[in-house]
Structure 1
Amino acid sequence: MATWHADPSVITWQFPAGVVKPGARPETATVRETLDETAVHCAVRQSLGSRLHPVTGVLCEYFLCEYLAGEATNGDAVENVDVMWVPRNSVTRFIDADRIFPPVLAALEEQT
């Protein structure tokens, strides 16, 4: 699933994302942000690692999640322009492969 984030200077596709609140677990934030942004319930299957984001410099943690329920809808019209399911083998049509964290790209390729 990709969310289409609006920024006054550019619109880009990205995976659901959010801030981990103090004292919270990143896995909890992952499930919460996915639900808040997309109305999709998911469960974390595994960690895919972390990195300092090359553009923002923010420490990002990545997780592979399992779909549980829900229909993808835009749950955060302030941050997102649109939300849609994207077949795994089509993600790079929306997000350049060189901008995707390599372990995420590998997980997408393994699942196809």
Structure 2
Amino acid sequence: MSDRETSLNDNAPPQRRVAGAVVVHEGRVLLVRRRVEEGQLSWQFPAGKVEPGESCEEAAVRETKEEAGLDVVAVARLGERVHPITRRQVSYTVCELVGGTAHVADADEIAEVAWVTLLEISQYIPYGLFEPVQQHLDVVLRS
């Protein structure tokens, strides 16, 4: 993470903090498509606002359950940045699937879910991924 990203993160208002879950299972990563797009942002990792008193890891686990109906556990934090499209501070956490089948669990917020291969990611997220997330997926999704 660059010094610029770190300094921006430290100054982000708490109400703009978002936690994202990077969930890999059987050679694919989970993405959700939001009902309301933010610019180019349509497909993304399960994510949502960090609630008061909640850690980013706890929020990533909760949001995955709320949006995709999956039970996951937080494994490792990959880093955080100010998202180039939403301008929100986003923390990315690797989560391990422990139960459930992915489905649209919050139909008001989520339009669809997809398990995507490494080669398919750019079709869903054409503007690229946060470098630490991309590096993690390059390692765990390479066959």
User: In 1, distance between residues paired with 2:38 and 2:81?
Assistant: 25
Query: 1:52 maps to which residue?
Result: 82
Cα contact 1:41–1:67 (8 A) shared by 2? yes
Query: 1:106 maps to which residue?
Result: 135
TM-score by length of 2: 0.71
User: In 2, distance between residues paired with 1:55 and 1:92?
Assistant: 16
Q: Aligned residue pairs: how many?
A: 111
Query: 1:14 maps to which residue?
Result: 44
- The structural deviation recorded for 1:9 is 7.5
The unaligned stretches of length 5 or more in structure 2 are: 1-29
Give CA deviations for 1:60-83 in whole Å, capped at 9, x if unaligned.
Answer: 100111111110000111111111
Residue 43 in structure 1 maps to residue 78 in structure 2: no
Runs of 4+ in 1 over 3 A off after TM superposition: 8-11
Identical aligned residues as a percent:
34
TM-score by length of 1: 0.89
Cα contact 1:89–1:108 (8 A) shared by 2? no
Give CA deviations for 1:38-74 in whole Å, capped at 9, x if unaligned.
Answer: 0111111111101111111111100111111110000
The unaligned stretches of length 5 or more in structure 1 are: none
**What is the SS of the residue equivalent to 1:77?**
coil
Over alpha carbons, which structure has the higher Rg? 2
Query: 1:94 maps to which residue?
Result: 124
Q: Which has the higher strand share?
A: 2
Cα contact 1:17–1:33 (8 A) shared by 2? yes
